[in-house]
Structure 1
Amino acid sequence: MAEFAGNSALFAARAARAGGDDDHEQELARAYTRGIEVDYSSKRFLVIDALQEMRSAMNATLSSFGVTRIEYSHRATESIGMVKRGDYDVILCDFDLGHGYDGLHLLEELKLRNLIKPSAVFMIVTGERRSRMVISAAELAPDDYLLKPFTGEELKQRLDRVYRKKIEFNALDAAMMTEDYFKALAECNERIERKDPFLIDFLKMKGRIALTIGDYGLARDTYQRVLDIRDIPWARMGMAKALFHLKDFATARQLFEQLLATNERVMEAYDWLARIHQAEHEHREAQAVLEKALDLSAANVSRQKKLGEVAMRNGDYDTAVKSFQATINIAKYSFWRDAGDYSSLAKAHLGSGNVNDAARAAADVRREFRYDAQAELLATVMESQVAIKQGNKARAQQILAKALQQFAGATTEVPEHFALELAEACYQLDEDAAAGEIVQKLIRNHHEDTAVLERISAMYETVGKADLGQEMIETTARAIVAINNEAVRMAQSGDLEGAVQKFIHAVEEMPANAQVMLNAVNAMLAYVARLGWHQGYMEMAQTYLDRVKALEPASVKYLKLKDAYNTARRRFRT
């Protein structure tokens, strides 16, 4: 592995060795698109470009091959609203949308919000050749991209090719839309085995699915197969992600650095390098990497937020304030708007001694999220923390009591970062018992979620109780393992009813713990397989599977148990 990661010459040699096969494959794919006739007069187009003259030029180009239904947008936020309201068949988007925002950012938001239908074409148009590297390295890549200037015939040929490709990917897209990842993998494998004209594309999708479901060994092997054919930036990116998850940080770092050496604007590589630094407890280095990325492209909500979090950990409150304020400003009218960012900003202000600014951030939460009960809880916690900093302990305790009432009366699961803020405020005001209950519930529901456990540990470090935090995490995890082991022993001894009841009780205690719910489903399916149909258990299993899907839709264990559940229903024909 280290050999290919550190040796660009080896990549080049492989590319030269496989070049003939690759050219043949690309020619087959082109041949697949010949003869296709698409009636573009029936298609609805959206053109996104900041420059009026470019929008006018695109109108003339599209009209040259019969396009009549064209709408225009000049900024990203407007485009999102138009896509949400409209049903576009083709979106032609300029790469540079201004203010550090690009067409890839827009595509990511449209995909994450499920605003773009699978049959729609999203094509990026760019005048910069260096943008090709950025686009080709992206995981959520557009259907195609086109360099300016181009003729109407060139654009039509690209669109024809994309439409033919869409037809070939219909079955795969349908499986992906329903999150049937095993079916999607089977489709990829079948097409790869018969050396489909779109072999590389199906390998790309297979790698992406493997990453999604957490099968990092499969992802690594899939991207290696691509790299044996040709050195493609997205394959390096995927390989590096797989190696990160396999904890081969050194090789992953080499690959990300190679991508950036080729083009410094492959922004996703900075995020993953920062993750590597954090995994190796190099928090100053992580901050430096994120700062460099934001110097190049500032309009990224998740990157700004991550910089704020890392800066807070490093005690750099001024940078944290700037980053969280930027996060709020960028996200204000978008899908990414989050009350938690105001809380983070308030904490950064408190860290730097700006109590009045922290109070204003709390007031902003009440104003901006006035109909959100969970945001109301967060604002109350923030006000308690402000009162602590002001030295008014009596008022802080009064406000905290109100927050605890709101928490106890919550009708939906309180986000873990909101609950952690409440626990921290409790510890600051010597309400250790209340804090412990909140944290224990969090650990019970997230005992295998490394990110949540790390945030819990960080909170305990902040309040000066690091040892207590570690003890709580370990004790709670042992208790959950003991419950599971006892239920397994009951099942092995033939007491399937007892095992099921044990897990049902565990789910009642840990209603948001995906692994416990899946263990319960497994026990119920074992009961049905051995003792016959049980309507109540199968209905409960469906409920648990639905809840897990909302939490971890790509979990391999969930997918396998969902398949086993469907098999059981077919067996009993219900």
Structure 2
Amino acid sequence: MAKIDFTHKRILIIDDFSEYRRSVRKMFQALGAMDIDDTGSGDDAIEKIAGKPYDVILCDYNLGDGKRDGQQILEEIKHRDLLRYSTCFLMVTAENTMMMVMGAMEYKPDDYLTKPFTKNALLNRLERLLNRKSDFESVEKAIHRQDYIAALQACNERIEQKPKNMYEFMRIKADLSITLGNYSDAEQIYDAVIAIRRVPWALLGLGKVCFYTERFFEARDIFQELVDEHRSLMEAYDWLAKTLDELGETKEAQRVLTRAVEVSPKAILRQKALAQVAIKNKDLNTAEKSFRNAVDMGKLSCFREAADYTGLAKVLIEKKSPGKALELLEESKKLFEGEPEAALQSVVVQGLAYKTMGDENGLKKALNESAMLFESVRNYLSPEASLDMANSFFQLGEKDKASKIMQDVIKNNHDNEKLLKKAQSVFDEADMKDEGSRLIVETQQKIIAVNNEGVALVKNGKLQEAIEYFEKAAASAPENKIINANAAQAILMYMQKGGTTDKLIHKVKQYLERVRKVDPSYDKFHALIELFQTVVK
């Protein structure tokens, strides 16, 4: 293992005890480091990380009551993309309790240290980590800039060299294949590794492949095996619950998430998932408890969302406590001031509370406020959030607003049978079964006609017109994978004839990234990726 020169390494020590920070500073100084910063505040640590590219971050897990902890610092800098690929993030804790250890490891720091530790122990850990970072530099650089194709190529080049850590490169290649929707490639890698040894990462990956390819029973068995044999592998619990939910086994999914929350209670996203599945099971007490946990944890987390407050408020309304719901929603409006989507969510649920209370004046005020907010956010909601919002508008008697939202969802997902079924169920709940069916069919036909017209332009060689046409269509349906794929294809064909430009390459990347986010397994997406590589070369 190569020796690391710490002379020019930039170090950040995060701990609420100044005496401890001084002792760790001396350790780094003894290793030759000169550029060393320290802080006892999580907020200050995030500001420092945002402003300086550190090579090593040593962060204590517990930074004092009522303050951000190490887990929340790590989740935020990852969420904001502040953590460079080359930075070593080590989580430190003085406690060895399961809750503390699981909390420290949930968001995957590079390593984990228990106090007290010696200078040599720190050096050995850092040398191993920094050498690994150096070995995977080309791959991780590409991943960091979200150039997954280049990362895959870099993996293939290193695998051909048969390095000592080839299995780690295979693991990254398989993960990248899943990201790009190349499920068959990923499955071949996982199968090859499992044939030698049933290692957890390969089993977890294979389970994900089965899930994405809708082999849910196979996925369930794999994730169940992982949960039974590796009880601290929290990701396996989450995937098992998702799979059980897909199979309609929502009560079992809730049991799995409840068990996971007992093992690692500080994972805010898992608390939200538990709340949602509890609502499906009509278990309002669990839903209320889990939403409250998410709200409390979110106060210092980057995963704080207005949806946690509105979700809890809806549960309170259903439990006949609309007054408490209104208090919570007022708190939400203050916390998320200046965010139109959050404001809309809050005011719509306020309307539901007023309706439950029989307060006509309050309901009228909420409806007027929602009308002002609606147009500004209708194009920015996720499909699931849109369906939820439409459902609320239907309950409030705002049929036009709800129908517009539903139309946008259908337009962007006209070929997604699973989502269209959910859309139909929203119409059914609103007593609009036949009308909803007609709207779905008519919207599907319109988007198909738009797509066919653009394809005809391409076939007739009118590529410039086709590009302009699909640009308008994609602006109207920004999440429609077929429209975006055809927009990318028109530009690629144009570049094949007339040459590439940075502007056109950038546009193609944008369209392909939209497709990848919606459906990375879409066959045409992979063909376009190959065409893109050929054209750019």
Scaled to the shorter chain, the TM-score interval is 0.7 to 0.9
CA-CA distance at 1:468 after TM superposition: 5.3
Q: Tell me the SS of whatever aligns to 1:42.
A: coil
After superposition, residues 26-45 of structure 1 pair within 5 angstroms as 33=1, 36-45=2-11
Q: How far apart are residue 69 of structure 1 and its match? A: 5.0
Aligned to 2:55: 89
Look up the equivalent residue of 1:91 and give its one-letter code.
I
Q: How far apart, CA to CA, are the structure 2 residues paired with 1:254 and 1:350?
A: 38
Aligned partner letter, 1:44: R
Cα distance in 2 for partners of 1:273, 1:98 equals 34
- In the aligned structure 1, how far is the partner of 2:505 from the partner of 2:274? 41
Q: CA deviation at 1:322?
A: 1.9
2: CA distance between counterparts of 1:52 and 1:259?
42
Deviates more, 1:223-232 or 1:494-503: 494-503
Task: Call closer, same or farther: CA 1:539–1:174 in 2, change over 3 Å.
Answer: closer
Write the letter of the residue equivalent to 1:42: H
Aligned with residue 546 of structure 1, among 489, 501, 510: 510
Q: How far has the Cα of 1:146 moved from its partner?
A: 5.5
**Cα contact 1:318–1:352 (8 A) shared by 2:** no
CA distance in 1, matches of 2:231, 2:302: 27
Relative to structure 1, is the Cα distance of residues 534 and 155 closer, same or farther in structure 2, using a 3 angstrom cutoff?
A: closer
Q: Is the 8 A contact 1:208 1:219 kept in 2?
A: yes
Corresponding residue number in structure 1 for 2:314: 347
Would you say 1:176 and 2:140 are equivalent positions? no
Stretches of structure 2 lacking an aligned partner (at least 5 in a row): none
Q: Deviations over 1:174-208 (max 9, x none)?
A: 21122111111011011112211221221121122
Q: Which residue of 1 aligns with 2:184?
A: 217
Q: Which amino acid aligns with 1:200?
A: Y
Q: Post-superposition shift, 1:271?
A: 0.9
- Residues 296 and 179 of structure 1: is their aligned pair in 2 closer, same or farther, counting only changes over 3 Å? same
CA distance in 2 between partners of 1:154 and 1:409 (Å): 55
Q: Does 1:309 align with 2:276?
A: yes
1:88 maps to amino acid: Y
Distance change in 2, residues 1:93/1:260 (3 Å) = farther
Structure 1 residue 46 and structure 2 residue 4: aligned?
A: no
Cross-structure match for 1:123: 90
Counterpart-to-counterpart distance in 1, 2:43 and 2:422: 32
CA deviation string 1:221-253 (max 9, x = no partner): 222233344443222222222222122223322
Per-residue deviation at 1:41?
Answer: 4.1
The alpha-carbon distance between structure 1 residues 147 and 283, as it changes in their structure 2 partners (threshold 3 A), is same
Which residue among 400, 404, 416 is the counterpart of 1:437? 404
Asked if the contact 2:457–2:463 (Cα under 8 Å) also holds between the matched residues in 1, the reply is: yes
Moved more, 231-240 or 41-50: 41-50
Matched, 1:359 2:323: no
1:233-248 equivalences under 5 Å are 233-248=200-215
Deviates more, 1:423-432 or 1:555-564: 555-564
Q: Does the 8 Å contact 1:518/1:544 carry over to 2?
A: no
2:370 is the counterpart of 1:408: no
Aligned counterpart, 1:187 = 154
Change beyond 3 A, Cα 1:221–1:498 = same
RMSD of aligned Cα (Å): 4.0
Shift of 1:407: 1.6
From the superposition, tell whether residues 286 and 461 of structure 1 become closer, same or farther in structure 2 (CA, over 3 Å).
farther
Name which of structure 1's ranges 212-221 and 457-466 shifts more when overlaid on structure 2. 457-466
Matched ranges for 1:23-422 at <5 A? 33=1, 36-48=2-14, 58=24, 61-67=27-33, 70-71=36-37, 79-93=45-59, 107-124=74-91, 141-145=108-112, 151-393=118-360, 395-397=362-364, 399-410=366-377, 413-414=380-381, 416=383, 419-422=386-389
The Cα of 1:121 is off from its aligned counterpart by 1.2
CA separation in 1, counterparts of 2:513 and 2:64? 37
Task: Give the stretch that moved more between structures: 217-226 or 388-397.
Answer: 388-397
Question: What are the Cα deviations for residues 10-64 of structure 1, in whole angstroms up to 9, with x where unaligned?
Answer: xxxxxxxxxxxxxxxxxxxxxxx2xx34232433333456788876765565455
What is the deviation of 1:274?
A: 0.8
Of 236-245 and 480-489, more deviation after overlay is shown by: 480-489
CA shift in 2, pair 1:509/1:155, >3 Å: closer
Q: 1:72 to 1:467 in 2, by over 3 A?
A: farther
Q: Which has the higher contact order (CA 8 A, sep 6+)?
A: 1
Normalised to the residue count of structure 1, the TM-score between the two structures is 0.79
Give the equivalent residue in structure 2 for 1:427.
Answer: 394
Distance 1:103 1:234 in 2: 25
**Change in CA separation of 1:120 and 1:510 when aligned onto 2, cut-off 3 Å:** same
Contact 1:549–1:558 (CA under 8 A) maintained in structure 2: no
Query: Are residues 245 and 520 of structure 1, via their aligned partners in 2, closer, same or farther at CA, if it must alter by over 3 Å?
Result: same
Q: Which runs of 5+ in 1 are unaligned?
A: 1-32
Distance (whole Å) between structure 2 residues aligned to residue 230 and residue 49 of structure 1: 40
Deviations 1:145-200 (A, max 9, x none): 55777543343233223222222222112211221111110110111122112212
**In structure 2, do the counterparts of structure 1 residues 102 and 196 end up closer, same or farther at CA, with 3 Å as the change threshold?**
farther
CA contact (8 A) 2:92 2:113 kept: yes
1:174 to 1:533, Cα distance in 2 relative to 1, 3 A: closer
**What residue in structure 2 maps to residue 16 of structure 1?**
none
Residues matched between the structures, number: 531
Deviations 1:56-105 (A, max 9, x none): 76556545534455555678666545533554221234678899x99677
**Structure 2 SS opposite 1:92:** strand
Q: Secondary structure at the match of 1:40?
A: coil
User: What residue in structure 2 maps to residue 26 of structure 1?
Assistant: none
**2:81 counterpart SS class:** coil
